[in-house]
Amino acid sequence: MKLELNCVGKQYSQDFWALKDFSLQLKPGVLGLLGENGAGKSTLMRIISTITSATTGTILWNGVDIFQNPDAIRENLGYLPQDFGVYPHLNAVEFLEYMAAIKGVHRKEAKTRIEELLHVVNLYDVRKRAIGGYSGGMRQRIGIAQALLNDPKILIVDEPTVGLDPVERVRFRNLLSDLSGDRIVIFSTHIVSDVEATAESIAILSKGHLLHHSSPDELLETVQGKVWEWNVSSSEVQELRKKWMISSTVRSGGGVLLRIVSDESPSNDAQLVSPGMEDAYLHCISNHGKVRQ
């Protein structure tokens, strides 16, 4: 099972490419797409889902060109878009029965599948409650259930944890990890901690370009020896922001503890510390701050 993206690009105007020269090879597991809003993540996911056409490049699903034969990937695809709409007056069972009919899942098969999925997403006990009364996290989980109705080999989820409370975010991240197994899961977010907790590999996008693709450990390795902590006075912080990339600030007593990502020590008083995923992400983005257009 392999998904190959070769020099994929999407041009919306003469001067604007939402995605450019994007190449990646994916096998089963969770890929975290990490990037700021507008980085090109949603565009990429819509192209893979054959909702949007690409301007350049090819995508092969097990060797088949999906632009020439979109049904090859559609019948193996589950998709949860960022703006997922539901029918608030339907309960979970009714909604999933409706979605199964749209996807062409046979009624008898759908009944068994729906019951299984409601257990998987932990909504079985509230299956008869109208979806309009669900919390944001519950709605996202019913969204995952509909995406899994056809038992897809590729599951695409776009910004699924936005707006969820911390408990629901953790529950949803764990669900994505559990669902990977023998399928490709592509999980898009701008929240670094979600990718850190879920993904087996990470792709960082900025301004439509792929900046980095590796395992989380390999990404962290790129910033070893480049993260510093430095206690300064409150009055110095604003001026130091102009000179250094500060990933966090913590007020401590009368001063501020800065966490700085830099190839060189910002001061003789600064201490080298172990990097985190957010440090690595900021370092990657800063090194490619002037991406060619």
Alpha helices in the chain (DSSP H): 41-48, 71-74, 92-103, 107-120, 136-147, 166-180, 192-198, 216-221, 237-241, 277-287
Instruction: Kindly state the average pLDDT of the residues 71-93.
Output: 89
| Extents of the domains making up the chain | 3-220, 225-274
- Which residues, at least 6 apart from 102, have a Cβ–Cβ distance to it below 8 Å? none
Q: Which pLDDT score is estimated for 207?
A: 92
Q: Which pLDDT score is estimated for 291?
A: 39
Structure tokens at 231: 């206690």
Q: Is residue 10 within 8 Å of residue 19, measured between CB atoms?
A: yes
CA distance linking residue 85 with residue 98, whole number of Å: 13
Structure tokens at 176: 């994505």
Lowest mean pLDDT among 26-35, 61-70, 165-174: 165-174
Q: Is residue 164 within 8 Å of residue 140, measured between CB atoms?
A: yes
CA distance linking residue 209 with residue 204, whole number of Å: 8
> Nearest 5°: phi and psi at 232?
-135, 170
CA distance linking residue 153 with residue 182, whole number of Å: 7
Side chain identity at residue 212, one-letter code = H
3-220 CATH fold: Rossmann fold (3.40.50)
* Stated pTM of the model: 0.86
CA distance linking residue 165 with residue 238, whole number of Å: 31
The two beta strands, 227-233 and 209-214, are: unpaired
Average pLDDT score, the chain: 91
Q: pLDDT tens-digit profile of 7-53?
A: 999 999 989 999 999 999 999 999 999 998 889 999 999 999 999 99
